[in-house]
Amino acid sequence: MAYKNISLETKNKIAYLTINRPDKLNALNTETFNELYDAFKKINDDAQVIGVILTGSGEKAFVAGADITELAVQTPVTAKEFALRSEVVLCFIERMSKPVIAAVNGFALGGGCELSMACHMRIASESAKFGQPEVNLGLIAGNGGTQRLPRLVGKGRAIELLCTGDMISADEAFRIGLANRVVKKEELIPACEKILNTIASKAPIAVKLTLEAVQSGMEMTLAEGLNFEANLFGLVFSSEDMKEGTKAFMEKRKPNFQGK
Ligand code: COA
């Protein structure tokens, strides 16, 4: 698939995925969602890639929301279909078997905030702004905002953001747990690269199972989640890396993980 609205580049085993509609503040139209889905599937299947950095092009925005010109003409039926189709993409991102970091370089509003929340982590530059302004348009969040935001920041803060439509700063996003950390603009991509490289130095199967345990566990009761974790904990004992990791500790040397 040739991309018109995004770009994908792999360097030093990191996939750099950039939403590339800067004149529209990287607003997400249907075509962009389709391209993102295609790109994330490709990245997930590429054994050479250790992780993804998702960002927006231009100086101003990560993503300023779903494309309002497309939303304005939806009917109740097509709007529901739009929400369900985009949710397939966001759920795929959430279930990626390698870490996905949203490098939030500016406005992350509406669908942009929701897209960032589907990523495993959000690193924000000082100029980033987060918000769910759908109520200003007579809409409600339709890409998982009413579900993922309370899970990340708690019900009270989520309701405040979703019902006031207020934009918050990167520092405030950090304070409430929406952003993992805030860095200077020029440190945004290096900070994401550093996290991905740290994760890549760990046992790959353990990382993959951890992502699965956290993601699936969030959708279970505590008892079910603990049982699921115990099953994956048992499973990891079948890996050579587990034997290598524990042996290396006892031999006081660095482990040499093979992803097996
Ligand atoms: N959908 C479609 N186009 C969008 C957009 C969106 N979500 N957000 C911004 N754009 C477009 C603008 O229409 C404008 O296009 P134009 O130059 O052809 O008129 C361009 O991007 C630049 O935006 P502009 O509003 O001029 O920039 P600004 O710096 O004055 O304001 C924002 C920035 C983010 C505050 C403002 O663009 C905005 O409120 N966007 C909508 C945010 C939103 O409600 N998102 C949720 C959608 S459900």
Going from the C-alpha of 173 to that of each of 5, 132, 133, the distances in angstroms are: 27, 12, 15
Helices 222-236 and 204-217, packing angle to 10 deg? 170
Q: Please tell me the predicted confidence (pLDDT) of residue 253.
A: 96
Q: Please tell me the predicted confidence (pLDDT) of residue 32.
A: 97
Q: Please tell me what DSSP assigns to residue 154.
A: -
**How far apart (Å, rounded) are the C-alpha atoms in residues 89 and 100?**
13
With a 6 Å cutoff on the Cβ, whether 21 touches ligand 1 is no
Q: Enumerate the β-bridge partners of residue 121.
A: 101
Q: Please tell me the predicted confidence (pLDDT) of residue 155.
A: 98
Output b/e per residue, 79-108; b: 16+ Cβ within 10 A.
eeebbeebbebbeebbebebbbbbbbbbbb
Q: Among the residues of the chain, which ranges form H helices?
A: 30-45, 68-71, 76-94, 111-118, 145-153, 155-164, 170-175, 188-200, 204-217, 222-236, 240-250
CA of 23 to the centre of ligand 1 (A): 9
Output b/e per residue, 227-249; b: 16+ Cβ within 10 A.
ebbeebeeebeebebbebbeeee
The residue whose C-alpha atom lies closest to atom 10 belonging to ligand 1 is: 24
With a 6 Å cutoff on the Cβ, whether 90 touches ligand 1 is no
Could you read off the pLDDT tens digit of each residue along the chain, which spans 260 residues?
899 999 999 999 999 999 999 999 999 999 999 999 999 999 999 999 999 999 999 999 999 999 999 999 999 999 999 999 999 999 999 999 999 999 999 999 999 999 999 999 999 999 999 999 999 999 999 999 999 999 999 999 999 999 999 999 999 999 999 999 999 999 999 999 999 999 999 999 999 999 999 999 999 999 999 999 999 999 999 999 999 999 999 999 999 999 99
Place of tokens 């929701």: 114
Kindly name the residue from 114, 187, 193, 219 that is annotated as catalytic. 114
Q: Please tell me the predicted confidence (pLDDT) of residue 144.
A: 97
Query: What CATH topology corresponds to 6-200?
Result: 2-enoyl-CoA Hydratase; Chain A, domain 1 (3.90.226)
CATH of domain 204-250: 1.10.12.10
Q: Which tokens belong to 61?
A: 């925005």
Tell me if residue 9 is catalytic. Answer: no
Under 8 Å CB-to-CB from 237, ≥6 apart: which residues? none
Tell me if residue 219 is catalytic. Answer: no
Q: Please tell me the predicted confidence (pLDDT) of residue 1.
A: 87
The residue whose C-alpha atom lies closest to atom 2 belonging to ligand 1 is: 67
List every span in the chain annotated with CATH 1.10.12.10. 204-250
Place of tokens 């992803």: 259
List every span in the chain annotated with CATH 3.90.226.10. 6-200
